[in-house]
A and B are shown apart, each in its own frame.
Chain A
Amino acid sequence: MLLTLPSDRGNGTSSPQDDHPAVIDVEALSLTVGTRAVLRQVNFWVPANGITTVVGPSGSGKSSLLRILNRMWDHVPRVRIEGHVRFSGQDLYARGVDVRAVRTHIGMVFQRPTPFPRSIYDNIALTLRVHGIRQGISDRVESVLSASGLWDEVKDRLLASALTLSGGQQQRLSIARALALNPAVLLMDEPQSALDPRSRDQITQLMLTLKKHTTIVLVTHHLDEAKRVSDRLGVMVGGTMEVFGPAREIFQSESVARLASATQEFGQ
Chain B
Amino acid sequence: MIRSEQGRLTSRGLRSLVETGVQTGLGILALAPFVVLVGLVGYLIWVSIPVFRYMRWGFFSHIAWNLGNLYAYHPVLVHGVRVMPGAEFGAFAFLLGTGLTSLMAICLAVPIAFLLASAASFGVSWPWRNILAILVEMMAGVPSVVFGLFGFIVLGPAIATQVGPWLNHWLSPIPFFSGPVTSETNLLTATVTLTLMVIPIVATTTRVAMARVPRDWVDSARALGWTEHEVFWHVIWPHSRAALTGGTILGLGRALGETMAVLMVSGNALNVLPKNIYSGVSTMAATIAGQLDAALTDPTRMAVHALGTLGLILMAISLAVNLIARVVVVSDGQTDHAGGGLAHGIL
Contact = CB atoms under 8 A, between A and B. Distances in A.
Query: In this complex, which of B127, B219, B223 has the most chain A Cβ atoms within 10 angstroms of its Cβ?
Result: B223
Contacts of A177: 220, 224
Nearest to B127: A77
Contact of B220 (A117, A130, A131, A174): A174
Contacts of A70: 223
Given A77-B125, A77-B126, A114-B216, A103 B337 contact: no
A256 B38 CA distance: 73
Interface string A93-114: 0000001111110011010101
Contact of B222 (A75, A127, A178, A181): A75
B226 interface: yes
Contacts of A187: 223
A108 B224 CA distance: 7
B224 A178 contact: yes
A114 B217 CA distance: 6
A107 B222 contact: no
Contacts of B224: 103, 107, 127, 130, 177-178, 181
Nearest to B230: A130
B337 A117 contact: yes
B336 A117 contact: yes
Contact of A103 (B127, B216, B223, B335): B223
Contacts of B217: 114, 116
A44 B71 CA distance: 98
A110 B216 contact: yes
A72 interface: yes
Given A108-B220, A116-B217, A103 B336 contact: no
A104 B223 contact: no
Contacts of A117: 238-239, 335-337
Interface in A154-212: 161, 174, 177-178, 181, 187
A101 B225 contact: yes
A130 B223 contact: no
Interface residues of B, number: 23
Chain A interface extent, by class = 20 to 34
B45 to A, nearest CB: 45
B235 interface: yes
Contacts of A174: 220
B17 to A, nearest CB: 48
A80 B156 CA distance: 51
A5 interface: no
Interface in B329-347: 335-337
B338 to A, nearest CB: 9
A107 B217 CA distance: 14
B226 A108 contact: no
Interface in A78-137: 99-104, 107-108, 110, 112, 114, 116-117, 126-127, 130-131
A108 B226 CA distance: 13
B225 A110 contact: no
Contacts of B337: 117
Given A100-B227, A104-B225, A130-B226, A112 B216 contact: yes
A110 B230 CA distance: 20
A116 B224 CA distance: 12
Given A103-B225, A127-B224, A178-B224, A110 B219 contact: yes
B79 interface: no
Contacts of B223: 70, 72, 103, 107-108, 110, 178, 187
Interface in B191-246: 214, 216-217, 219-227, 230, 234-235, 238-239
Nearest to B214: A114
A103 B220 CA distance: 10
Nearest to A108: B223
Contacts of B238: 117
Contacts of A110: 216, 219-220, 223
A87 to B, nearest CB: 14
B210 to A, nearest CB: 15
Given A77-B125, A116-B217, A117-B335, A130 B234 contact: yes
A245 B27 CA distance: 70
Contacts of B336: 117
Contacts of A181: 224-225
Interface string B301-344: 00000000000000000000000000000000001110000000
B317 to A, nearest CB: 34
Interface string A42-81: 0000000000000000000000000000101001010000
Given A116-B234, A187-B223, 13 more contacts: A77-B127, A108-B220, A110-B216, A110-B223, A112-B216, A114-B216, A114-B217, A114-B219, A116-B217, A116-B221, A117-B337, A126-B234, A178-B224
- What 5 A-B pairs come out closest when comparing CB atoms? A108-B223, A103-B225, A114-B220, A104-B225, A77-B126
30 contacts: A70-B223, A75-B222, A77-B125, A77-B126, A77-B127, A99-B225, A100-B225, A100-B227, A102-B225, A103-B222, A104-B225, A107-B223, A107-B224, A108-B220, A108-B223, A114-B217, A116-B234, A116-B235, A117-B239, A117-B335, A126-B234, A130-B224, A130-B226, A161-B335, A174-B220, A177-B224, A178-B223, A178-B224, A181-B225, A187-B223
